[in-house]
C-alpha cells in the first residue's frame, strides 16, 4: 500500500533525521507517520530502529510486537523483540524490582523459547529469591538444550545443592518438632503433679483453718482446680 503524500513527507523527515544522527527527531517523526498510517511498515521499522538507538525498550516493544509475533520463533524480528524484553527485565533487576524483572524475562522467553540469556538471568533471579524449584526448571532447560554450557551447568549444580540443603533442614525441623512434642508432654505431666500438690495443700489448709469464710473460698478454688485435672 502506497503512503499518502503527507505521510511520505513525514517519513522523509524521519529518514533524514536518522541518517544525520538526530535519532530523537527521527523517533518523533516516525511516530507521527505511524499515527497517520498504522499500516506503514517503513514508519514502523524507523520507529523501532530509533527506539533501539535511544534504548527506549518499551517503545521498541510497542512498535515491534504487532509484526514480530506474527513470525515464527528464530526470525530476526522476534529475536529483536525478545532482546528488548531482556533489556527491560535487566533494568527492573538492577532496581531490585524482582517481580517486574521476572515477568519481563518470561515475556522474552515467551517470544523466543530458546533465548538462553533470558532463561539464565531468570534462573539466577529466582535462585537469589529462594524460588529453587522454578530456578531449577530454567537451568535444566538450558543444559538440556546445550550440555556444554558451563555457566548454566554450574548454576544447576548450585540449585541442586541448595535444594538438598533445604530438604535436610526441613527434615531436621521435623525431627526437632517431634522431640519438642515429647518434651511438652513431660512438662504437662509435671504441671498435673503440681496442680495435685496444690489441691492437696488447699485441702490441708481448709482442714487447719478456723475461719468459715476462708474454708468457703478454699473449697471453691479446690473445686475449680480439681475439675481441670485428669483422673489419677
Boundaries of every domain in the chain: 1-54, 164-227
The Cα–Cα gap between 122 and 132 comes to 12
Q: Determine the 3-state secondary structure of 39 from DSSP.
A: coil
Going by the DSSP 8-state scheme, the letter that residue 69 receives in this structure is T
Q: In the predicted model, what is the mean pLDDT of residues 44-61? A: 96
Name the average pLDDT for the chain.
82
For residues 98-113, average pLDDT: 98
pTM exceeds 0.85: no
Predicted pLDDT of residue 68: 94
* Contact yes or no for 209/215 (Cβ under 8 A): yes
Alpha carbon distance 135, 139 (integer Å): 6
Question: Phi and psi for 69 in degrees, rounded to 5?
Answer: -70, -10
Residues in the chain: 232
Residue 75: C-alpha distances to residues 60, 116, 120 (Å): 17, 15, 21
* Residue 221 scores a pLDDT above 80: no
Amino acid at each position: 500500500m502506497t503512503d499518502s503524500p503527507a505521510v511520505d513527507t513525514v517519513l522523509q523527515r524521519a529518514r533524514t533525521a536518522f541518517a544525520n544522527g538526530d535519532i530523537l527527531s527521527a523517533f518523533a517523526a516516525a511516530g507521527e507517520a505511524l499515527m497517520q498510517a498504522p499500516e506503514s511498515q517503513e514508519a514502523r521499522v524507523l520507529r523501532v530502529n530509533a527506539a533501539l538507538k535511544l534504548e527506549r525498550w518499551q517503545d521498541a516493544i510497542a512498535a515491534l510486537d504487532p509484526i514480530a509475533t506474527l513470525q515464527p520463533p528464530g526470525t530476526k524480528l522476534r529475536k529483536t523483540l525478545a532482546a528488548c524484553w531482556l533489556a527491560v527485565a535487566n533494568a527492573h533487576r538492577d532496581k531490585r524490582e524482582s517481580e517486574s524483572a521476572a515477568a519481563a524475562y518470561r515475556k522474552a522467553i515467551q517470544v523466543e523459547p530458546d533465548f538462553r540469556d533470558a532463561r539464565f538471568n531468570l534462573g539466577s533471579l529466582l535462585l537469589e529469591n529462594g524460588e529453587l524449584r522454578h530456578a531449577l526448571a530454567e537451568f535444566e532447560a538450558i543444559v538440556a538444550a546445550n550440555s556444554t554450557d558451563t555457566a548454566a551447568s554450574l548454576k544447576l549444580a548450585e540449585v541442586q545443592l541448595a535444594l538438598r540443603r533445604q530438604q535436610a533442614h526441613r527434615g531436621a525441623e521435623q525431627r526437632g518438632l517431634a522431640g519438642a512434642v515429647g518434651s511438652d508432654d513431660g512438662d504437662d505431666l509435671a504441671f498435673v503433679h503440681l496442680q495435685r500438690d496444690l489441691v492437696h495443700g488447699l485441702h490441708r489448709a481448709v482442714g487447719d483453718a478456723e475461719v468459715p469464710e476462708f474454708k468457703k473460698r478454699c473449697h471453691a478454688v479446690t473445686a475449680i482446680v480439681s475439675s481441670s485435672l485428669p483422673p489419677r
